[in-house]
Structure 1
């Protein structure tokens, strides 16, 4: 194994366990709310709490890290997540669950900021691409693996909240034992919303719509499945299909965006998501068809965020790239924070298909906007673009591992 991979193995092990714990909660929590008889709107509000907390964590958590250091910040935030996971079982009050999920979203943003800053410090420029791929595959395996396990067990048992808390605690072990030096204190670099829009309007709108779609559909699919009369196990398989679709289609679509106008890929994904959403609304009683449609839906909706970030980076000056990427993440987080609250009433007013009526409307608006922008500015020629890099929406520090960003002195 390359020495670079060995240096980051403990850090990636810790964040993989974090993703596993978060996956357990993201599946079990909405299922419990739905089976307890709460409305889709109530479930959407609780789901939104995580996004709101995550948005706040992206903006504020770096101050905690600067104050106490990376290892202490990681220990505190992981311990808080562990405790909060177990508190879910002590009360059935929705406002308490909202508060717990809000704080947990903040902690998760801080945890990702810690580990991705650590990865950046441990990875020289020549190894960034490989380490980033290793990191992305590991976390995706945790998400898909966690959902596969949940698809074969009784997810209605309250003990799963305790399991999630235990996994959060386990994530401390590989990180605490790592010998990789701590990185320098983080700093948050952002462009103003006006400057972001001037650099690449389609990129910022695309990132916001990505958050609107992914948070709502992933967070409320358990409600959709229950309302449709699907088994809990099959509903979890639908969530897994979404993640598998994004895993297998991300790189082909990213490479395609290196060859043609990236906005064409964003618009194409949005149109595909609109069509697939309509298909899902019609295919409610055809289970295998639903699995295929959810797989393709995930491949279309969870992939264009990275293409939108790449589009913004194409038009950014070298000293703007960190600000553009961080701003794109916050645009995604804004969408993720409000998406479930907007989508949930569609479920209550229209029925199960209302969730995908919402997705159809959001993706149609995005497609129309991007197609309009394509008439206002010519694309960069392929030779003038940086190569595609798959960046998930996790923390502002992930951009520091982006091979497209030039090496900069520590802050």
Structure 2
């Protein structure tokens, strides 16, 4: 493993630093917005701006890379991100923050596309799975570490925004000084929504609903905590528990998914997610029940994303997988834009506890739709399904394509072993 990481350690270090900086500002927006007196609906628009920018970046970044190259795009987007992070405390208006978040989402998506194309170029059939796992681990650990740093200074000042900007600026040094330029990023044109739905209705509808879940919990979680009366330390711990759950539960859920009907697993995980949100709703802000709810809720959301990708792949030909990855990211992005908006409006009308009710409704919808789809089409035998590969919902189509390629390679290896009778 150390030998595999030797060639990409700088890239992983840089991504970790970027995630720390980006994770700090994402939670800080909710806390600082509350201090500035922003309404829940205003902060919902600010949050959705990030995901709108992210979706646009995923579509346009490959074109920029083809025109001017990886290094220039990476350096330019890094500079814009650093400047945007410093701009937040300079102009504390909802409309300005929405524009800043839109720009940050675009830049972050472009950074992902560039970094993931470098990573994919460095991967071979033998080490692709390890590199993808290390990359997803770096992302998750960065988000968790960000919450710890958030408690080190006053959220009402400019220090934390400056610190996030410094971390992002520093992250590009090791990457740009060590990464070798690669051929221009080529992301296949996304599959049409109609074709995607015809291939996998559950995958399409489920990943749309999950986009709302993930964006609401990650983007509006800090807003909920701030408006419910949690301290900054408690808000940071709450957000950290969301990502800690995904880190701990991703592998065991993946192991189970390769051995049972994935629709039943999707139904079960979504039901557990709804139950965890009900616990959060009934916790009356008691600290440990609240943190347990966040841990389980986060631990269901990220594996569900990987499950929807794997389940969709089960009904696709290999040559259609790259186009499907773009379609899945697009559908997920639509859900991620709408989720915070609906959650914010609900919280504005019914108070911060509406955060939990909205998430309960989404998880229940996923579970119910999965149950209904089980009556529409027979399940595939476990031996005929592709392998589950953990991938973060924040990834670009580049990482999703790499995960699909690795999933197919794993399935071929398993089939070869089965045919040869090897243990």
TM-score range, shorter chain: over 0.9
SS of equivalent residue, structure 1 residue 171: helix
User: Displacement, 1:170?
Assistant: 0.8
Distance 1:94 1:178 in 2: 39
- Which region of structure 1 is more displaced relative to structure 2, 222-231 or 49-58? 222-231
How high is the TM-score relative to the length of structure 2?
0.93
Residue 392 of structure 2 aligns with which residue? 392
User: Aligned in 2, Cα 1:142/1:53: closer, same or farther, shift over 3 Å?
Assistant: same
- Note if 1:337 corresponds to 2:340: no
Alignment of 1:130-209 (within 5 A): 130-151=130-151, 153-209=153-209
Aligned-residue RMSD, C-alpha: 1.6
User: Displacement, 1:183?
Assistant: 3.4
Alignment of 1:252-401 (within 5 A): 252-393=252-393, 394-401=395-402
The number of residue pairs the alignment matches comes to 407
1:261-301 Cα shifts (integer Å, max 9, x gaps): 11111111111122221221111232111111111111122
Distance 2:228 2:100 in 1: 28
SS of equivalent residue, structure 2 residue 38: coil
User: Displacement, 1:156?
Assistant: 3.2
Residue 407 of structure 2 aligns with which residue? 404
Residue 219 of structure 1 aligns with which residue? 219
Contact 2:153 2:160 in 1 (8 A): no
Contact 1:109 1:395 in 2 (8 A): yes
SS of equivalent residue, structure 2 residue 127: helix
1:206-240 Cα shifts (integer Å, max 9, x gaps): 21111101111221122212222221111111111
User: Displacement, 1:399?
Assistant: 2.8
Residue 16 of structure 2 aligns with which residue? 16
User: Displacement, 1:122?
Assistant: 0.9
Residue 112 of structure 1 aligns with which residue? 112
Distance 1:195 1:373 in 2: 17
Contact 2:188 2:322 in 1 (8 A): no
Contact 1:4 1:122 in 2 (8 A): no
Contact 2:325 2:401 in 1 (8 A): no
User: Displacement, 1:153?
Assistant: 4.2
- Note if 1:85 corresponds to 2:85: yes
Contact 1:262 1:307 in 2 (8 A): yes
Distance 2:186 2:69 in 1: 10
- List runs of 5+ in structure 1 lacking aligned partners: none
- Which region of structure 1 is more displaced relative to structure 2, 319-328 or 381-390? 319-328
SS of equivalent residue, structure 1 residue 291: helix
Residue 53 of structure 2 aligns with which residue? 53
1:93-144 Cα shifts (integer Å, max 9, x gaps): 2211111110110111110000001111111111101111111111111111
Residue 124 of structure 1 aligns with which residue? 124
User: Aligned in 2, Cα 1:116/1:93: closer, same or farther, shift over 3 Å?
Assistant: same
User: Aligned in 2, Cα 1:258/1:202: closer, same or farther, shift over 3 Å?
Assistant: same
Residue 42 of structure 1 aligns with which residue? 42
User: Aligned in 2, Cα 1:321/1:303: closer, same or farther, shift over 3 Å?
Assistant: same
How high is the TM-score relative to the length of structure 1?
0.95
Contact 2:386 2:408 in 1 (8 A): no
User: Displacement, 1:20?
Assistant: 1.1
Distance 1:266 1:152 in 2: 39
- Note if 1:31 corresponds to 2:19: no
Distance 2:351 2:374 in 1: 36
1:127-170 Cα shifts (integer Å, max 9, x gaps): 10111111111111111111123245433332111111111111
